[in-house]
Amino acid sequence: MSVAKNSLCDADNSCLIIIDIQEKLSSAIPDKIISRLRKNTLILLDAANQLNIPIITTAQYPKGLGPIEEFITNKLTDASRSFDKTRFSCLGADQLPEHLKQINKKQIILTGIEAHICVLQSAIEFIAEGHDVFVVTDAIASRQPTSYEMTLLRLNQADCTLLNTESVLFEWLRDASHKDFKILSKLIL
């Protein structure tokens, strides 16, 4: 069983996975919600890059749903990895499970859309594989509010840790004396 509910996010043991934030999927999300998701995903991207936390992105059937949004691809480094998929869970993406084994990070920090499909299925499968899964609730979205709300209930029942962007950021830092505290706290203050 996962121990994520009893753990803090650990920068040395984390991997940020951004699920299917693609043009056509994003356009179906209400404006206020997608704006919040973009803002918080950008904060997490900047923080992960500053702290050298591995970043993985996925794209669900990009031929039909379009590419990953540019605000994300502009922040990816040479160390970042992107995977196309047709299975809803990230673990169905070719080479993604192997990449996770290579980077050897137990904690999976999840963001993305659609919360009730790809984020949910990914979280549950990552937990089944022994990962500690943290879903960033202000950086996931669904087209319908009821789908989002049911996702949170199901994730909680599945032993997933639910937290917000600011919590992830300060758990990664742990201490105001951290060398990157001033840089990263400016992302949210």
The CATH architecture of the domain made up of 4-185 is 3-Layer(aba) Sandwich (3.40)
DSSP states along 23-63 = HHHHTTS-HHHHHHHHHHHHHHHHHHHHTT--EEEEEESHH
Domain ranges of the chain: 4-185
Residue 62 in tokens? 């990009």
Q: Tens of pLDDT along the chain (189 residues)?
A: 444 567 999 999 999 999 999 999 999 999 999 999 999 999 999 999 999 999 999 999 999 999 999 999 999 999 999 999 999 999 999 999 999 999 999 999 999 999 999 999 999 999 999 999 999 999 999 999 999 999 999 999 999 999 999 999 999 999 999 999 999 999 987
* Reported pTM: 0.96
**Cα separation of 149 and 145, whole Å?**
6
Amino acid letter at 153? L
